[in-house]
Structure 1
């Protein structure tokens, strides 16, 4: 590990857990510009900045970088406040029309951090389910300013200036047996008293049961990893969720779900990374990692370090070409390449993933051809 990486991870661990960063790692030669860019690349500017605050003043970044960081922090906090405000608005709209969304990822996961407003935010993901999906879409489209192509899982719209993903399908696994178990589990708890309630800003939202929500964070990360890559923020999400519930009795339920979904190995590798590099206490893990998982965790960390948030900073990665079929072929060939190289993380998912991509593309083309496209641009 380079000195830059040692410094960076010392600040991440400090920001996540509130302990003081190792000040002996920092001196007059510290390249703060590179540390800042690494934090930006991994979508962890807020977390690393919290770690910076624990350093002695004389070892903190120079004034120009510190002020740049402060300005970035203001933007991160304001973006979170905007997202929380619109979260309250979209819940009000849905509830007025008899729909109870389940908030997934995003602002729900942020509540597990020491400072939720310091987590880099993205969009609002709502699981509606198949029964109210079209009704919810119609409600949103009344105030939508743009809409991306609908996928088999969701629509993606800009509503009141924020991105909202409205899900018919919460998520899917590629391995058929694992996916049947996953869909059965979602159907079992959706709309039941097992769902949790939690206040975020001015609204009480509905969240999935804690064991499933925790497993879902890992599922989502594995899927993105096989397709395009993930950033360190996704590992931090996993670590913070586990740590926030460390004293709750659901740990065995989480382990059972992950094993039934065929993700035991992914859980071990993510766990090794979270413990060895992020400082998560080992006893917080639902599935303990093994010594042989550490090299895989190091390989995973190298891919994350090179690619950055969702692989967007991978210098060897080509841009998706314009045109529907060219774009689909690009996505398919990239996924095959990643599955071949990275199947060590989730072997069964890597095996089935390319076939599922083809299946979903064909289903969406069939829907567009024979059912009509209900997007904003019709």
Structure 2
């Protein structure tokens, strides 16, 4: 990866993230703080920088630093609110004996060095099909209002909190892959009689995915967002920290088998490159293939992914300039372009993506009629 020339802003940002993620007590001196915070916000990792022991900026940027530090209490306040709501929902679902697991956001935040500094977005919860109707009723009774539906989840809102209640973990485009993922979830989540996998939030045990299935989800989630418009560094940080935290409990054989069956091995190795080369991941926490976590071809693909991450930010946050039909046209045009230029990341997914996208577009047109 050394042949990828990073912009100075990103060299500094990665250095700061490594310090924050691995409790480095050094005091970095920053000459371009405004630019770094702008990019950190685009990548949704700005909250992590509050965890640095100390920062030194040039005098001209002291005001920017102080303004940014003023956002720290609000971030922790919002994180507390999300945690409290996750626990409240978990208690309600547990009391009703509903099979659920909390996904991604709050399930990942607990493994951060400072969990309250992971900026929350929404609450993702998977609910087994035979409990989905009852879970919906409980959300409505709690004051949530239906917002919209997709093939993946139903979305509900209450105040500033959005809950996405999933009927599937992740949309996979290749039919055989999608079918295999459904079978995994049925076998490893829906049909399990006694649940064994929890994280503790506010002194309450909240159900989460088995570690290997969680890593599979985070890998697929990053791939889908990268192919559909953009992915942020936060998704890579989540992926890395979850593995570092759970690697001793993680069933490596099931992870390896699942990645292979879902055609995600190649993308997993790309994420390994970025995690180790730029975020300071420990190689022992990652899968190895033929004695090493990645090879030179993985590095080339990871360079392409990292350039795309720097270009797009979290979910393509800076690229979509148009709204309405023009914005949709821009989105679909770029999606088709990505199908060709990123094909090597996961050939089956990118081959299947255009027809699946057309299918969803036609369904949307039918709803409008």
Structures share fold, TM-score greater than 0.5 = yes
Residue 241 (structure 1) aligned with residue 245 (structure 2)? no
Using the alignment, how far apart are the partners of 2:57 and 2:155 within structure 1? 46
C-alpha deviations, 1:140-174, integer Å up to 9, x for none?
A: 23455653321112111112531000112222311
- Partner of residue 17, structure 1: 22
Classify the secondary structure of the residue corresponding to 1:91: helix
- Partner of residue 78, structure 1: 77
- Partner of residue 290, structure 1: 295
| CA spacing shift, 1:61–1:346, aligned 2, 3 Å | farther
C-alpha deviations, 1:339-358, integer Å up to 9, x for none?
A: 22222322211111122223
| CA spacing shift, 1:132–1:331, aligned 2, 3 Å | farther
Q: 1:123-134 residue pairs with structure 2 within 5 A?
A: 123-134=122-133
C-alpha deviations, 1:54-95, integer Å up to 9, x for none?
A: 45x577994322322222222221111000111122223333
- Partner of residue 180, structure 1: 179
Once structures 1 and 2 are overlaid, which stretch shifts more, 273-282 or 89-98?
Answer: 89-98
Residue 272 (structure 1) aligned with residue 273 (structure 2)? yes
Using the alignment, how far apart are the partners of 1:114 and 1:59 within structure 2? 27
What's the TM-score, normalizing by structure 2?
0.88
| CA spacing shift, 1:72–1:84, aligned 2, 3 Å | same
Using the alignment, how far apart are the partners of 1:160 and 1:97 within structure 2? 24
Q: Is the 8 A contact 1:262 1:348 kept in 2?
A: yes
Q: CA deviation at 1:221?
A: 0.9
Q: Is the 8 A contact 2:33 2:65 kept in 1?
A: no
- Partner of residue 89, structure 2: 90
- Partner of residue 322, structure 2: 319
Classify the secondary structure of the residue corresponding to 1:164: strand
- Partner of residue 253, structure 1: 254
- Partner of residue 354, structure 1: 354
Q: Is the 8 A contact 1:14 1:21 kept in 2?
A: yes
| Equivalences, count | 358
What's the TM-score, normalizing by structure 1?
0.86
| CA spacing shift, 1:145–1:246, aligned 2, 3 Å | closer
Q: Is the 8 A contact 2:181 2:262 kept in 1?
A: yes
| CA spacing shift, 1:32–1:246, aligned 2, 3 Å | same
Classify the secondary structure of the residue corresponding to 1:132: helix
Using the alignment, how far apart are the partners of 2:197 and 2:251 within structure 1? 14
- Partner of residue 104, structure 2: 105
Q: Is the 8 A contact 2:99 2:128 kept in 1?
A: no
Using the alignment, how far apart are the partners of 1:33 and 1:335 within structure 2? 31
- Partner of residue 62, structure 2: 63
Classify the secondary structure of the residue corresponding to 2:40: helix
Q: CA deviation at 1:233?
A: 0.6
Gap regions ≥5 residues in structure 1 = 371-378
Classify the secondary structure of the residue corresponding to 1:269: helix
Classify the secondary structure of the residue corresponding to 2:130: coil
Classify the secondary structure of the residue corresponding to 1:158: strand
Classify the secondary structure of the residue corresponding to 1:149: strand
Classify the secondary structure of the residue corresponding to 1:313: coil
Using the alignment, how far apart are the partners of 1:308 and 1:353 within structure 2? 22
Using the alignment, how far apart are the partners of 1:169 and 1:300 within structure 2? 26
Using the alignment, how far apart are the partners of 1:92 and 1:160 within structure 2? 20
Using the alignment, how far apart are the partners of 1:48 and 1:319 within structure 2? 32
Q: Is the 8 A contact 2:27 2:54 kept in 1?
A: no
Superposed CA RMSD: 2.6
Using the alignment, how far apart are the partners of 1:276 and 1:61 within structure 2? 32
| CA spacing shift, 1:262–1:3, aligned 2, 3 Å | same
Q: Is the 8 A contact 1:45 1:73 kept in 2?
A: no
Gap regions ≥5 residues in structure 2 = 1-5
- Partner of residue 376, structure 1: none
Q: CA deviation at 1:130?
A: 1.9
- Partner of residue 309, structure 1: 314
Q: CA deviation at 1:308?
A: 1.0
Using the alignment, how far apart are the partners of 1:58 and 1:312 within structure 2? 27
Q: Is the 8 A contact 1:13 1:21 kept in 2?
A: no
Using the alignment, how far apart are the partners of 2:60 and 2:143 within structure 1? 42
| CA spacing shift, 1:59–1:258, aligned 2, 3 Å | farther
Q: CA deviation at 1:294?
A: 1.4
